Structure 1
Amino acid sequence: MSVAMLRYRWSLFFGTFLALLLGVAVLSGSLSLWAAAQPRVPDALAGAPIIVAAPRFDPPEGGFPTYRPWSDAELDRLTTALAAVPGIAAAVPDRPFYVQRLVDGAPVGDPRDSLHSGRTWAGAEAQHHALRAGAAPARDGDVVVDAALGVPVGATLPVVTAAGPATWTVTGTTDRPGFYVADATAAALSGGARFIALSLTPRADASDVAARLPAVLGELGGVLTGDARGAAEPERDRGTRWIGAQLIIATVFVGTFVAIFVVASTCAFAVSQRRRELALLRAVGATPGQVRRLLLGEALLVALAAGVPGALLGAALAPLLRGPFIATGLEPTGFEVGFTWWAPAVALAVGLVVAVLGVWLSARRAGKVPPLDALRVAAAEPRPMTLSRWLTGGALLLLGAGLAGLLPSSTAEQKPTLVLVSAMVLLVAAALLAPVIVVPVVRLVTWPARRGATGLLVREGARVSARRVAGTAAPVLAAVGFAVLLVGTYQTANEAVGIEDTAKIPELAVAARSDASPGLSEAATQAQPGRSELPSTVYLASGRPVDATGTKVDGLTAAPSLGWTAGDTVPLRFADGVVLPVPVAAVSSDLAEDSVQLPRDLVRTHDPAALTDVVHLAGDFVPSPGAERMTSRRYVEREAAEEGDLIQLFLTVLLGISVGYTALAVANTLLMATNARRPEFLTLSRAGATTGQTARVVVSEALLAVLVGSMLGLAVAVPALFEARAGLQDEIGAAVTLVMPWGTLAAVVGACGVLAAVAAALPLRRGTARPSPMV
């Protein structure tokens, strides 16, 4: 019977079909991207079946694991012991370092990839990378380069490294990207090694060799095989993947939430439109359980019909996003998207669950339709609110208010999550309680037009059809609420970042890295007159990493959170793996949590790969490769803009999903409502109303529903926005201006209004509501 009803009433299910098709496609594509965004083995180590990793530290609060570097003595001992293990042909430390080619004195190439584009040729040989021409690098200044660069063997190659500009001689070319140098050159330009690539003899079994290694390594390392070798991916690439994963997760979360929201509101309205039809079924003997099973069966059939093509569509379109994800910095170079069988399968299963959840409450209510409702003639809704809707809406209202009440006592890190979750709960509560709120709001809004014929019809029609108005207002409510909250919070946070960061940079001019460079070399930094800080990392005895800054101090200055006192001596492992006992000269609350300051020369000695971010000028700027002069304000804005571009992309995707679903729900609801009101329009025609007057009534009602939804969305989002601002003020300790996103609000409301007007008037223009003598 469900199949027959779908054929007969297909127009009622078209909106649900489209919502599920798009939702499953978004979910399938997002899961495919998420699967591809998992850590991958770096190309330079992909040929090694086994990788030995340095001792690992897992943060107790969660986050990325870190690997503290080996010292040269530890590394020599390990490589000697590993080379003696049966089945191992070579054990080569991985020593990536920063290098960029200079063209006309300026660095070229991807600045992100350049941080680890330098490698040892010994490592490349161990993984069977062959020379295309020339010879291997034998001494300092020799390099093997990618043949695609077009630099012939014997030519000189200007480059810049963390030490500064240099001129290398090309001794050979290969088919692999990167710059390959002698071991001594790599050791001088890189930090300490954290991974050792093992190549095996021809007949060796990787699993057998891996099983022997723990006894050899002891506490000095662990074994990585298979997909676990992705842990050797550079930390910055891992962080980039994490950013991309957050967008994917947010897309899945918001897309699923809005899909359930839209499907539920669409199904609820469709069931209310079919109330008389369902009453007829009850009158001819259908039980409440049969009616519920009918509606659930219809939903599952629609979900299958929409989910299968949606799942395949999303999986097919996901690879097209590879380029944009890399270009926007959401994924590192080398990101590839393939077909993952479980992604469309999970998306299809979620689509089925969303369909069932969306129709469940409506099906329960439909099963209770009295058979006598088949005789009902009046179009009024005597009971727009059911007991379950009252209870659910009230419970969510209390829950959202309770979460908002926790904000004053929460930490700065907890507040953004609490604000978002409480706002989402309150949005759902407002949608459930909308039929109650619609009548007083409609009376208030239509009060000035109550004496005109059109105003009176709109006013009274909305009053007696509160559920219809609420069905149109609910998706608008969600779109407006999301838009105001997300965009408003982002723009307000931007103001806060500007206030906080500018206060840290009192100088009028700075020398900063150019857009083509990841940082300033030591030569470029030393050439500038002014103050600079050299970022690095040191490791405690437990392996825990601590942010370190090399600056003009005489000894170690520590943050109070580390628990040290002046006069203590602490053993610190530096970036090159060397462990030194360092006395604590001072403890300062001005430092960031869990950070230290060290003499700059000490940091540079033990971290030859470190790059400086900015020099605060105290004199004239000296042109240097990779350096650019700018004002302090411009520097702050640029650094914030890099994060802002990613956040803006997040907002665009999330709002696109939200507004897209809203458009679908509004159009579907109004098309169904207008088609179902043919008898009402016939009565208006017989009473003397023209087609234009009828169209004005229908369009006015649609715009009224959009206005009501916008007002409810603002009622939830604006208080949440004030709470978000309060959290930012607590975090930075300064007043923050609340930014109301008027442009976004106008665009969302305007788009909803135009769409609602077109969807309401379209059936009239097509003639579906045109009176007919035979009606």
Structure 2
Amino acid sequence: MELMLRIVLSTVRHRKAGFAGAFVALLCAAALVCACGVLLDTGLRGSVAPERYAGAPVVVTGDQFVHQTKIKKKGKVKHKAKAIAERAWLPASTADAVRAAGARDVVTEVAFPAEIGTAPDESWGHGWESAALTPFTLREGRAPAAPDEIVVDAATARANGLRPGSRVRVASAEPGSYRVSGVTRQALKDQAAIFFTTAEARRLAGHPGQVTAIGATGSKAAIAAALRGTRATVHTGADRGRAEFPGAERSRIKLISMGGALGGTALLVAILVVSGTFALSVQQRQREIALLRAVAATPRQVRRMIGREALLIGLAAGPLGAAAGLPLAFWLRDRFRGLGALPPNLDLVVSPFPPAAAAVAAIVAAVAAARIAGRRTARIRPVEALGDAAMAPARLGVARTAAGLLVLAGSVVLTIVLAGLHTEAAASPVTMLTALAWTVAVALLGPVIARAAVAVLAVPLRAFPVAGHLAAANLGAGARRLASVITPLTLMIGLTATILFAQTTTGRAAVRQATGGTLAAHVAGPKIPHGTAEAIRRTPGVAAVTEVVHSTVRVGLENYGVQGVTTAGLDKTMDLDVRKGDIKALDPSSIAVSTTAASRLHVGPGDTLRLTLGDGTPAALKVVAVYGRGLGFGDLTVAHDLLAAHVDDPRGTVLIAGTAPESVPTVSASTLAEDTASANAEVNYIAMGLIIAFTAIAVVNTLAMSTAGRARELAVLRLSGATRRQITRMLGGETLAVVLVAGVLGTAIALATLTAFGRGMTGGGPSVPPLAHLGVIAWGGLLAAAATALPARLAMRTRPADAVGARE
């Protein structure tokens, strides 16, 4: 045991360059897994502190979830719940039930979007009676007494220069001019508060006889018992924050899927990269291992030595990488907040679990990768130590060939499955898994692919007298080494192209459909109130106006995007590409569905579709039409009045046929669609960009290790009469061959994956800008050139005689 440990420590000490590559790969892998773990942990255990409801011990709100109960085999009951998209409302009479339960200080409130000037993202109007929930107190002036009076919070007053007596315009579903009657002493951290009279607030909220929340002091159990059987839910403690910020709760749930998917992908990529790194490291030591076998070391002892070397590196890299993952998680948080994907009041949960899991994952990956990589090498024959190089076998092992063919078959199956997925939530994780599966197949069958590629590339390489012949000979003799350096570059090109062009495939299809289906000459938005739309409709020169509001509904537990449209003059402003039925028959009791939704839901004209609107209200609507432009306009279309009554903000966009009034700012339909597609894509780019960066590091790492490990070979060439210039050209030819092979393989992987993705999501092919894809390959080429040139220059600084005689 002690002798083995000394050998391990001596090997690591004298082969710093080779083990440095494995160390870097493991450190980056641990950092990436830790950052994803923090996101996942935040989604699972994160909470939002209450602000508006901080002064109410008990808060009652509507149920923000859709529930589904299924009875499975053997009588097992499975319950699932999914968050709804809008705020759930309660009957105002619920307050009476709360009082009857013995609660004191019962306060009702309504909340609706209302802004003054450049308000923060969260800016809400309320009735003054709900000021006690925080509580808010007056610093100046008095409470609002007339319908045209408001009280503003201290931050809003300071930002807009307001004081009692000021006149200001408040933007809402029914905008108007109000006089400031008072300014509060308090201001909330993450939202602005504007207080109206109770009657005016309820009028502007647009939900007669309903409230958004009820605050009280009393027993949670007693209140819950009194409300049993209703859609009311009772919250205390930190749970009040979830009730106050339903958007933050939805973001928390999204973090679970994002962190899980990103972490799983990162772990798979890490295993693939680390395995390749250790495989290359072990290949470079074949003569050394053969010498150990020649002095009676058994295959088991060799495997244990390699495993302990990996364990030593993993113990060093894992904790360091996990520690680096914490600032990486905070960097991700800031980027997501900047894009609006993560609310400012949902902070990261930092606990020891993600770093510990990342460190353990790195150590396990190191040991597993080393044992797999050293399995064949440990069985090397001692007589091979007498050779100048450990030559690769003529054929792959049976186990590796079988594994490669099995993964190849799995990749084909995943590609076929991907072609049948029509929603982004289902297709996105399968898209990444498909690209990874193809890359794993390439890695397993790499030597065979490398030999075939060399056979093709050797002909043009030999056109160059010395350097070309040397490059062709080296590539042909080192098929396994070539496969080891091709794999990470293929992975980087394939994943980068898949991530980038999956977004362009759906984004451009959506833009094409939105642009082609918008007949209106002008689009105004995004927050145009109904009154403004009516004024535009009455303007001379306007032929038709269509109001459009968007939301998300659930059919069962599945999410579907929905738009609500006014039907008068719809044929002059919007063409949904109706395939079946008649869109003119659309009214508040009916619905039109896209071809994708119709296929998934198995409905057509005349059928009844049951769904849950954004605020949790169930509806049964008759299908009157099936249309083709679902990507551009949403999978479902309903009457505007129906949807507007069940969203937090009924303001939306306005399509104008004819001449738009000069006072109304307009944009083109393509610009609006591109902005929407770009906002959605940026979140995915940031999340997956870390994996692309990791694969780029792996490319540099592997190529640098490969070149540095050839110092003795380069020295022999120099002793044989080759000049530095000829060797540099030889390495350049080899690098060019590696980039060409990886470019072809990465492109093939991306095209196979994107073709299936495009067929499922858009019904067409992928959208791959040629220059952008050439840029991806060129970037891979630059990385490969840099990772080869610098180690080669360092290796050739050593005198050839010293390099040949140096201990390997």
TM class by shorter chain equals: 0.7 to 0.9
Q: 1: distance between equivalents of 2:416 and 2:285?
A: 41
1:65 is aligned to 83
| TM-score, length-scaled by structure 2 | 0.81
Q: Distance in 2 between matches of 1:691 and 1:596?
A: 69
* Equivalent residue number for residue 221 of structure 2: 211
Aligned to 2:581: none
* Residue of structure 1 in register with 2:574 after alignment: none
Whether the aligned pair in 1 keeps the contact of 2:40 and 2:258 (CA below 8 Å) is no
**SS of aligned partner of 2:665:** strand
Between 371-380 and 451-460, the greater mean CA deviation after superposition: 371-380
Partner of 1:3: 9
Structure 1 residues 394, 619: closer, same or farther in 2, change over 3 A?
closer
Partner AA of 1:720 in structure 2: T
What amino acid maps onto 2:213 in structure 1? I
User: Which residue pairs with 1:693 in the alignment?
Assistant: 726
Contact 2:97 2:226 in 1 (8 A): yes
Q: Structure 1 169/194 Cα, relative in aligned 2: closer, same or farther at 3 Å?
A: closer
**For 1:525, which of 530, 533, 537 is the aligned residue?**
533
The answer to whether 1:535 aligns with 2:574 is no
CA distance in 2, matches of 1:356, 1:234: 45
- Find the counterpart in structure 2 of residue 13 from structure 1: 19
CA distance in 2, matches of 1:474, 1:364: 20
CA offsets 1:623-667 (integer angstroms, 9 cap, x no match): 66xx52123333333333333443444454443333233223322
Q: Which amino acid aligns with 1:127?
A: T
After superposition, what is the alpha-carbon deviation per residue over 1:310-360, rounded to whole angstroms, capped at 9, x for unaligned?
212221443344433222222123343353222212221222222233223
Distance change in 2, residues 1:725/1:563 (3 Å): closer
Offset of residue 230 of structure 1: 5.0
Partner SS state of residue 101, structure 1: coil
| Distance in 1 between residues matched to 2:698 and 2:487, nearest whole Å | 11
Partner of 1:204: none
Q: 1:43 aligns to what SS in structure 2? A: coil
On the 8 A contact 1:393/1:429 being kept in 2, the answer is yes
Moved more, 543-552 or 268-277: 543-552
Tell me, yes or no, if structure 1 residue 682 matches structure 2 residue 715. yes
CA distance in 2, matches of 1:338, 1:255: 20
The answer to whether residue 108 in structure 2 is matched with residue 93 in structure 1 is yes
- Closer/same/farther in 2, CA of residues 614 and 337 from structure 1, 3 Å limit: same
User: 1:635 corresponds to which residue?
Assistant: 672
Q: Structure 2: how far apart are the matches of 1:21 and 1:194?
A: 52
Q: CA deviation at 1:594?
A: 8.5
Which of 477, 483, 487 is residue 500 of structure 2 equivalent to? 487
Equivalent position to 2:638, from 597, 605, 629: 597
Distance 1:55 1:126, change over 3 A: closer
Q: In the alignment, what sits opposite 2:707?
A: 670
**1:144 equivalenced with 2:151 (yes/no):** yes
* 3-state SS of 1:64 partner: strand
Query: Which residue is 2:522 aligned to?
Result: 509
Moved more, 342-351 or 328-337: 328-337
**Which aligned pairs between 1:414-563 and structure 2 lie closer than 5 A?**
418-450=430-462, 452-513=465-526, 519-529=527-537, 530-535=544-549, 549=564, 551-552=566-567, 556-559=589-592
Residues 63-101 of structure 1, C-alpha deviation per residue, up to 9 Å, x if partnerless? 7323998777x332x212323445x44333342211111
SS in 1 for 2:144: coil
Measured after TM superposition, the shift of residue 307 of structure 1 is 1.6
Change (3 A) 1:564 1:340: same
SS in 2 for 1:636: helix
Does the 8 Å CA contact 2:108/2:129 hold for their aligned counterparts?
Answer: no
Among 740, 745, 751, which residue is 2:782 paired with?
751
User: 1:169-208 maps to which residues of 2 (within 5 A)?
Assistant: 169-177=180-188, 178-181=192-195, 182-190=197-205, 192=207, 196-200=213-217
Q: Does 1:80 align with 2:96?
A: yes
Distance 1:17 1:197 in 2: 57
Change (3 A) 1:614 1:10: same
- Does residue 657 of the first structure (1) align with residue 694 of the second (2)? yes
The question of 1:51 aligning with 2:66 is answered no
Amino acid across the alignment from 1:263: V
Is the counterpart of residue 715 in structure 1 residue 751 in structure 2? no
Partner of 1:28: 34
Distance, in Å, in 2 between the alignment partners of 1:352 and 1:461 is: 34
Larger mean Cα displacement after TM superposition, 57-66 or 128-137 = 57-66
Distance 1:84 1:479, change over 3 A: same
**Residues 534/318 of structure 1: CA separation in 2 closer, same or farther (3 Å cut):** same
SS of equivalent to 2:108: strand
- Structure 1 residues 303, 526: CA separation in 2 closer, same or farther (over 3 Å shift)? same
Q: What displacement does 1:430 show?
A: 0.6
Change (3 A) 1:385 1:214: same
Q: 1:319 to 1:717 in 2, by over 3 A?
A: closer
Letter in 2 for 1:520: I
Secondary structure at the aligned position of 1:528 is classed as helix
Cα shift at 1:428: 0.7
Deviates more, 1:305-314 or 1:164-173: 164-173
Q: Measure, in 2, the Cα distance between the counterparts of 1:453 and 1:389.
A: 36
- Offset of residue 478 of structure 1: 0.6
What amino acid does structure 2 have at the position aligned with 1:522?
H
Q: Is the 8 A contact 1:51 1:196 kept in 2?
A: yes
Q: What percentage of aligned pairs have identical amino acids?
A: 26
2:707 partner SS: helix
Report the equivalent of 2:72: none
How far apart in 2 are the matches of 1:214 and 1:4?
68
Residues 157 and 757 of structure 1: is their aligned pair in 2 closer, same or farther, counting only changes over 3 Å?
Answer: same
- 1:112-164 superposed Cα distances (whole Å, 9 cap, x missing partner): 323xx223443342333444444343443333323234222333332211112
Query: Of the candidates 165, 172, 188, which is equivalent to residue 161 of structure 1?
Result: 172
- Cα separation, partners in 2 of 1:227 and 1:397, compared to 1, 3 Å: farther
Question: Residues 478 and 59 from structure 1, CA distance in 2 versus in 1: closer, same or farther, beyond 3 angstroms?
Answer: farther
> What amino acid is the match of 1:75?
A
Partner of 2:122: 113
In 1: Cα distance, 2:611 partner to 2:415 partner: 44
**Superimposed CA distance per residue, residues 245-272 of structure 1 (whole angstroms, 9 cap, x where no aligned partner):** 6554454233222221111011011111
The one-letter code sitting in structure 1 at the alignment partner of 2:509 is A
Give the Cα–Cα distance (whole angstroms) in 1 for the partners of residues 684 and 471 of structure 2.
Answer: 42
Tell me, in whole angstroms, the C-alpha distance in 2 between the residues paired with 1:538 and 1:419. 24
| CA shift in 2, pair 1:139/1:363, >3 Å | farther
Shift in Å, 1:765? 4.5
TM-aligned CA deviation for residue 15 of structure 1: 1.0
- Please say which of residues 717-726 and 303-312 is displaced more in the overlay: 717-726
TM-superposed deviation, 1:719: 2.8
- Would the aligned equivalents of 2:499 and 2:685 in 1 still touch at CA under 8 Å? no
8 Å contact from structure 2 (residues 719, 800) kept in 1 = no
More displaced stretch, 370-379 vs 190-199: 190-199
Tell me which amino acid in the other structure corresponds to 2:748: A
The CA distance in 2 between the partners of 1:616 and 1:610, in whole Å, is 18
Matching residue's letter, 1:662: V
Q: 1:703 aligns with which of 736, 755, 780?
A: 736
Alpha carbons of structure 1 residues 575 and 708: separation in structure 2 relative to 1, 3 Å: closer
Distance 1:47 1:686, change over 3 A: same
**Quick one: structure 1 residues 396 and 170, their matched pair in 2 at CA, closer, same or farther if it must change by over 3 Å?**
same
| Aligned-pair CA distance for 1:570 | 11
Asked if the contact 1:507–1:617 (Cα under 8 Å) also holds between the matched residues in 2, the reply is yes
The CA RMSD measured in Å over matched residues stands at 3.9
